[in-house]
């Protein structure tokens, strides 16, 4: 009973923190479960379940706020999914230890880019009203609400950004980890999406990736659905709370929190290696 409650609490905490930055909580949840003695083959599916549950739970709030850019998400996810499939088929080509170090270095670089930048890139446009909030038809552009002001944005370096998403997918496929910790920084720092839009869009796309990975896992073996239900309870709660918190925090705070989280994740990965 105590172990069940601990699993719910852990899933809630990691999913909540993950939902704020669009990272998914699995990258923290799975190592903690493994360190507590759970075999990796049992912990990994629980991580995927936590990502899907938190992604779905957070989406209600994020859809209402108009922070998810589905068009960016769909285009980026197509590249990431191709990369993930290629990566999953090529598992073993690169040593796990080397791969972990590469990911850790990439994450630290992403954290430095996110944390170093001051202020916000996109500023309120007083000529726009609330009806402009959301994604815009026929393009990757859109606008989001920042404390009652409407802030338009226009993604930059789209081809390069989508290519990096494909590379992120390749790395996640090779390493068997979720890609939120790479997707949010790529969307925010390379494609210049506002960090809240990047995080909400990443939350949407990691739900897609994790559900496919869950289907693959189910094909390859059993999933402990009892433990999965406990994780759902925690992760869905975390996703709901994380999405609400993200709405209330300023973009600068979200970006700094993201940078701090990325550093924590890189440390966890290196310790695990």
Partner 1 sequence: MSTVDPAQATAQKKLATLIGRATYVLMVVALAGVLVGGQIGRSLDGVVVVTFALVPWLRVLWLVQRWQKIGDKRFALAGMLLIGIALAGVMVSFLVA
Which residues contact partner 1 by CB under 8 A?
Answer: 4, 49, 52-53, 55-57, 59-61, 63-64, 66, 70-71, 74-75, 77-78, 81-82, 84-85, 88-89, 128, 131-139, 142-143, 152, 204, 207-208, 211-212, 214-216, 219-220, 223, 225-226, 228-230, 232-233, 236-237, 240
Smallest distance, partner 1 to C-beta of residue 132, A: 4
Smallest distance, partner 1 to C-beta of residue 55, A: 6
Give the residue with the Cβ less far from partner 1, 204 or 259. 204
Give the residue with the Cβ less far from partner 1, 31 or 228. 228
Smallest distance, partner 1 to C-beta of residue 260, A: 27
Q: What is the 3-state secondary structure (H, E, C) of 164-226?
A: HHHHHHHHHHHHCCCCHHHHHHHHHHHCCCCHHHHHHHHHHHHHHHHHHHHHHHHHHCCCCHH
Cβ–Cβ under 8 Å, residues 19 and 238? yes
Give the residue with the Cβ less far from partner 1, 155 or 207. 207
Smallest distance, partner 1 to C-beta of residue 67, A: 11
The Cα 96–Cα 90 span in angstroms is 12
DSSP 22: T
Strands 142-146 and 134-135: antiparallel
């Amino acid at each position: 009973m105590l172990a069940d409650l601990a699993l719910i609490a852990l899933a809630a905490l990691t999913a909540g923190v993950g939902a704020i930055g669009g990272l998914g909580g699995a990258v923290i949840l799975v190592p903690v479960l493994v360190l507590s003695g759970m075999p990796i083959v049992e912990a990994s599916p629980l991580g995927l379940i936590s990502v899907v549950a938190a992604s779905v739970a957070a989406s209600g709030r994020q859809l209402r706020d108009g922070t998810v850019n589905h068009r960016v998400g769909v285009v980026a996810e197509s590249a990431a999914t191709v990369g993930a499939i290629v990566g999953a088929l090529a598992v073993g080509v690169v040593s796990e230890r080397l791969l972990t170090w590469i990911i850790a270095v990439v994450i630290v670089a992403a954290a430095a880019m996110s944390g170093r930048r001051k202020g916000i890139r996109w500023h309120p446009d007083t000529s726009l009203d609330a009806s402009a909030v959301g994604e815009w038809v026929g393009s990757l552009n859109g606008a989001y609400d920042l404390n009652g002001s409407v802030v338009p944005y226009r993604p930059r370096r789209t081809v390069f950004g989508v290519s990096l998403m494909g590379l992120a997918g390749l790395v996640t496929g090779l390493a068997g980890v979720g890609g939120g910790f790479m997707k949010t920084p790529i969307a925010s720092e390379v494609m210049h999406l506002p960090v809240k839009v990047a995080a909400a869009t990443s939350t949407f796309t990691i739900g897609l990736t994790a559900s496919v990975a869950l289907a693959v896992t189910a094909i390859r073996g059993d999933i402990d659905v009892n433990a999965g239900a406990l994780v759902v309870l925690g992760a869905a709660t975390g996703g709901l709370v994380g999405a609400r918190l993200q709405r209330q925090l300023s973009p600068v705070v979200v970006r700094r929190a993201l940078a701090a989280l990325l550093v924590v994740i890189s440390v966890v990965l290196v310790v695990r290696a």
